[in-house]
Amino acid sequence: MNTASAPARTPETSNYINLWLNSLSAVLAEKIGVAVSCVALPSSSNLPLISEDDTWITISASGQLKGELAFRLPLAFRQSVTSSPVGDVDTLLLEIFNLSAAGVQKSMESKCVVTHQAKKTPAPSWDPSSVQVLQAQFANPATFELRLENTLLESLQSIVSTPPGTPPSITGTEKLGMLMGVELAVTMRFGGKRMLLKDILDLCTGSVVELEQQVQEPVDLLLDGRLIARGEVVVVDGNYGLRITEVISGNEK
């Protein structure tokens, strides 16, 4: 036997663990067909030594809540759930923990947007920042272990400090991605000319307006009136086109 120890937890960590305990209790009771209560035990409680017979279920959280948590399920826990062959047990355990994860997500809807994904893994490579001894009170109570990654604990703290109803922050890259499908109109400018109003009124069919730009000078490409590039006029499949020879990076107009 070994003794599990854990640093002092914050209220938000305790609330998060309680959500998992409540959800696991409900799902286990539904799957097994008898009432099951999952509870947290004191940190001084004993756990079976880590063994090759243990099953590890790692939960990855994404969305406003990020990080990982891992459940270590000793053989006695698995035997209390079912006596089916090992492969069937793994399938059942993944179903139980994915359903429990969905229950936790639903309970957290008012505080944050989060998605949990369960998978069977080896023992996690990260060092836990919080370890909790749990017990499922079957006919023969079985202890199991919950480990929380530091990234997850920090994420829990940030959610608590964010007022309810605050939408998830969007990174600069995500904001740019939202705009990448927007269509913008660009204009080719062959030249320009300032004219008196009386000369404009004299224009008619056949009139020629001489532009203030030489034939050999590059043509401007404008985006919303702002110069973004210059180039040479070409013809592509019967349409005018522009071969870019210079990209403008400043505020030139």
The neighbouring-strand residues paired with 247 are: 229
Question: Which 8-state DSSP code applies to residue 140?
Answer: S
Q: What is the pLDDT of residues 124-173, one digit of tens each?
A: 999 998 899 999 998 889 999 999 999 999 988 887 655 545 555 566 66
Phi/psi for 70 (5° steps) reads -135, 135
pLDDT at residue 68 is higher than 90: yes
Alpha carbons 1 and 102: distance in angstroms, whole number: 33
51 plus 12 within the same structural domain: yes
Whole-Å CA distances, 164 to 19, 160, 161 = 18, 9, 9
163 against 241, higher pLDDT = 241
Q: Are residues 210 and 166 in the same domain?
A: no
What would you measure as the largest C-alpha separation in the chain, in angstroms? Answer: 102
Q: Is the entire prediction scored with pTM above 0.85?
A: no
Yes or no: say if 242 and 232 are a contact pair by the CB < 8 Å rule. yes
Contact present, 10 and 157 (Cβ < 8 Å): yes
Task: Please answer whether residues 82 and 89 qualify as being in contact, where contact means their C-beta atoms are separated by less than 8 angstroms.
Answer: yes
Q: Around Cβ 145, how many Cβ atoms within 10 Å? A: 21
| Residue 152 belongs to some domain of the structure | yes
Rounded to 5°, angle at Cα 155 from 115 and 150: 105
Q: Bin 67: left if φ > 0, else alpha if -120 < ψ < 50, else beta.
A: left
Residue 3 confidence (pLDDT): 41
Distance of CA 69 to the CA centre of its chain: 16
Six-digit token string for 177: 């991605």
pLDDT in tens, 165-217: 555 556 666 667 777 778 888 888 888 888 899 988 999 998 988 888 888 88
Domain boundary among 132, 153, 173: 173
**∠ Cα 147 86 70 (to 5°):** 10
What's the mean per-residue pLDDT of the chain?
84
What's the pLDDT band for 71 if we cut at 50, 70, 90?
very high
For the chain, the domain total comes to 2
From 120, 148, 173, give the residue that closes a domain. 173
Query: Can you tell me the distance from the alpha carbon of 205 to that of 83, in angstroms, rounded to the nearest whole number?
Result: 93
Last-in-domain residue among 173, 197, 224: 173
pLDDT reported for residue 6: 45
Residue 212 tokens read as 């203030």
| pLDDT tens track for 81-99 | 876 565 577 888 999 999 9
Residue 228: domain span: 184-247
Please indicate, yes or no, whether residues 138 and 221 belong to a single structural domain of this protein: no
pLDDT for the residue numbered 55: 93
